[in-house]
């Protein structure tokens, strides 16, 4: 196995919140893989299964380091699925993670908070948040610029090298 030179080059997150309080996150990382490690992995069912399990455990480790709070109650994000593949070229691989957790939403104002290790980002990434229909994003504190696409959809980009302070807070209203 040659992990040599594998590095993340881009990330995307799609975070969906439904009216019942179910949070579903799809997080996709693209990797530059000059030694074609992942091309070998996807061609071997045994190695593929082992790699998926290792990626799942690694992501869960990092999620367990975070403190995620919905309306004052700590919640525990869990990795429920991992997909690994190639982007047409053997040197560009991806890993997609599906992460879920439940939060108790209420009619009116709700607050999502996430606390994690601060860092300088090693790759560009973009995140979309989708809140329930009829809801409205009220206030956002991410430490980076963001855009509201409409009342309930938020988007932000973080460039490589940016400092992330390790806390996010999103206030949104549910009718």
User: Does residue 156 sit within a domain?
Assistant: yes
Please tell me the predicted confidence (pLDDT) of residue 175: 87
107: containing domain = 7-174
> pLDDT tens digits, residue range 6-39?
999 999 999 999 999 999 999 999 999 999 999 9
How many domains does the chain contain in total?
1
User: Does residue 126 sit within a domain?
Assistant: yes
Please tell me the predicted confidence (pLDDT) of residue 1: 54
**Residue 170 reports pLDDT greater than 60:** yes
Please tell me the predicted confidence (pLDDT) of residue 13: 98
Beta bridge partners of 11: 29, 125
Mean pLDDT of 69-80: 98
> pLDDT tens digits, residue range 79-125?
999 999 999 889 999 999 999 999 999 999 999 999 999 999 999 99
Q: Give the CA-trace dihedral at 129, 166, 56, 87, to 10 degrees.
A: 60
User: Does residue 105 sit within a domain?
Assistant: yes
Mean pLDDT of 63-84: 98
36 Ramachandran zone, left/alpha/beta (phi>0; psi -120 to 50): left
171 pLDDT tier (thresholds 50, 70, 90) = very high
User: Does residue 26 sit within a domain?
Assistant: yes
For 131, the 3-state DSSP assignment is coil
**Residue 147 reports pLDDT greater than 60:** yes
> pLDDT tens digits, residue range 35-52?
999 999 999 999 999 999
Q: Provide the 8-state DSSP code for 25.
A: E
Please tell me the predicted confidence (pLDDT) of residue 38: 95
Please tell me the predicted confidence (pLDDT) of residue 88: 84
User: Does residue 2 sit within a domain?
Assistant: no
Please tell me the predicted confidence (pLDDT) of residue 127: 98
Mean pLDDT of 146-150: 97
User: Does residue 1 sit within a domain?
Assistant: no
Distances (CA, A) of 10 to 32, 85, 124, 125, 175: 9, 15, 5, 5, 35
């Amino acid at each position: 196995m040659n992990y040599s030179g594998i590095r993340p080059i881009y990330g995307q997150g799609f975070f969906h919140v439904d009216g019942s309080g179910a949070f579903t996150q799809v997080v996709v990382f693209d990797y530059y893989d000059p030694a074609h490690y992942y091309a070998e992995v996807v061609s071997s069912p045994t190695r593929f299964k082992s790699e998926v399990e290792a990626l799942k455990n690694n992501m869960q480790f990092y999620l367990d380091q975070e403190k995620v709070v919905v309306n004052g109650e700590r919640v525990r994000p869990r990795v429920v699925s991992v997909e690994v593949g190639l982007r047409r070229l053997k040197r560009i691989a991806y890993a997609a993670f599906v992460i879920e957790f439940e939060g108790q939403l209420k009619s009116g104002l709700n607050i999502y908070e996430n606390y994690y290790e601060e860092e300088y980002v090693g790759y560009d990434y973009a995140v979309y948040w989708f809140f329930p229909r009829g809801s409205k994003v009220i206030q956002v504190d991410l430490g980076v610029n963001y855009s509201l696409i409409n009342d309930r959809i938020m988007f932000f980009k973080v460039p490589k090298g940016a400092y992330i302070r390790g806390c996010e807070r999103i206030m949104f209203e549910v009718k």
